[in-house]
């Protein structure tokens, strides 16, 4: 069978690397990779293909720098033409970006089955573009691969038992990636040495959600908290160029270490060596867990409720005092034993097995 894989953003490159490697073990699966260009900076895109040995995309659309509607529409139009040319048996999409929705819409309107990896997640915050993307993608997908029990429960509450789509709990391919690439990152990453962090305790932070970067009150509150924490625990923040420009234009002055976006191997090493993680990224919340680090989530909710329920993740929102208080509480605290929440590295194998069963009946 032929599968078109749609990717466009950092977390999707990581997930696609895992599935592409698994597809190679199955001689009956031919993969055609389409890179929408949603993340176009080399440190956000090309470096992942190079580092993680993902097959180079057969199609690179170079669609970026637009509003949500224009971006999604441009992607949809070009992906539709690729589907016409390639005539795939299915289109696979990941997560909850504009690339995800565009790929799913293009396929569904042409009656090509949609496979959604990381289905069923919900923040229940309809102000998040990602929430809209994931809900719509789930509803038009034929085969949904859920990472957690909570994701399955969300779909069933929305009536998926009565729909024609098939959904399965398979685990999380992000954990597959963390396990597989951990040894490689230790050999190849240089970021710890370059930043002279070998013996220096530090917290790793990322900020990229529009609810934080586009709301100056939220952004100033987060930076204020990070500046306060940095006085006793160094903060390292890989920052997207767009957010860096927002800092500059609005005279927001970080007193901590701001670096350019890093590749996946460097991020793994930062996670391994850090004392604490602060982030508004869904993916990094899980990766903190994979590498045994407490996480403070800089949002009012999370899709990964099992991390909160088990005491690995703490919701701080953008309240500067709460962020500082939680950092003081968690920094240096011993991480508890990890439960098997995400499949322990078997997600990709589970997905390929089900795809073969569904399409080779």
Residues with catalytic function: 208
How would you classify residue 235: left for phi > 0, otherwise alpha for psi between -120 and 50, otherwise beta? Answer: beta
C-alpha to C-alpha distances, 222 to 60, 237, 284, 332, nearest whole angstrom: 35, 12, 17, 21
Cα–Cα distance for residue pair 106/85, rounded to 1 Å = 13
H/E run at residue 346: none
Environment class of 313 (CB within 10 Å of its CB; exposed 0-12, middle 13-18, buried 19+): buried
Query: What is the CB-side half-sphere exposure of residue 248 using CA atoms within 13 A?
Result: 8
Sign of CA dihedral 96, 128, 330, 264: positive
> Is 4 within 8 Å of 32 (Cβ atoms)?
yes
Cα–Cα distance for residue pair 267/81, rounded to 1 Å = 35
DSSP state of 55: P
Cα–Cα distance for residue pair 54/192, rounded to 1 Å = 25
Cα–Cα distance for residue pair 191/116, rounded to 1 Å = 33
């Amino acid at each position: 069978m032929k599968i078109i894989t749609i990717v466009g953003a950092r977390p999707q490159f990581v997930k696609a690397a895992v599935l592409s490697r698994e597809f190679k073990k199955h001689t009956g699966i031919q993969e055609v990779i389409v890179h929408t260009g949603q993340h176009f900076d080399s440190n956000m895109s090309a470096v992942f293909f190079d580092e993680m040995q993902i097959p180079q995309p057969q199609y690179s659309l170079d669609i970026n720098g637009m509003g949500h509607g224009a971006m999604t529409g441009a992607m949809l139009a070009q992906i539709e033409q690729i589907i016409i040319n390639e005539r795939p048996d299915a289109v696979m999409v990941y997560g909850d970006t504009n690339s995800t929705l565009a790929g799913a819409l293009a396929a569904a309107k042409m009656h090509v089955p949609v496979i959604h990896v990381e289905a069923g997640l919900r923040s229940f915050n309809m102000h998040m573009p990602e929430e809209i993307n994931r809900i719509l993608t789930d509803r038009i997908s034929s085969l949904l691969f859920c990472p957690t029990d909570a994701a399955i429960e969300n779909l069933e509450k929305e009536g998926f038992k009565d729909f024609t789509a098939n959904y399965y709990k398979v685990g999380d391919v992000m954990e597959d990636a963390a396990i597989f690439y951990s040894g490689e990152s230790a050999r190849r990453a240089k970021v710890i040495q370059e930043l002279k962090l070998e013996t220096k305790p530090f917290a790793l932070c990322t900020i990229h959600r529009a609810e934080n970067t586009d709301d100056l009150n939220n952004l100033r509150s987060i930076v204020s908290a990070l500046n306060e924490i940095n006085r006793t625990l160094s903060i390292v923040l890989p920052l997207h160029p767009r957010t860096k420009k927002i800092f500059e234009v609005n005279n927001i002055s970080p007193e901590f270490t701001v670096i350019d976006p890093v590749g996946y191997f460097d991020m793994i090493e930062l996670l391994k060596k850090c004392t604490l993680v602060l982030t508004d990224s869904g993916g990094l919340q899980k990766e903190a867990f994979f590498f045994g680090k407490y996480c403070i989530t800089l949002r009012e909710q999370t899709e990964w409720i099992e991390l909160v329920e088990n005491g690995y993740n703490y919701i701080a929102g953008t309240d500067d005092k709460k962020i500082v208080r939680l950092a003081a509480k968690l920094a240096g605290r011993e991480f508890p034993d990890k439960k098997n929440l995400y499949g322990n590295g078997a997600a990709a194998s589970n997905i390929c097995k089900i795809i073969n069963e569904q399409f080779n009946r």
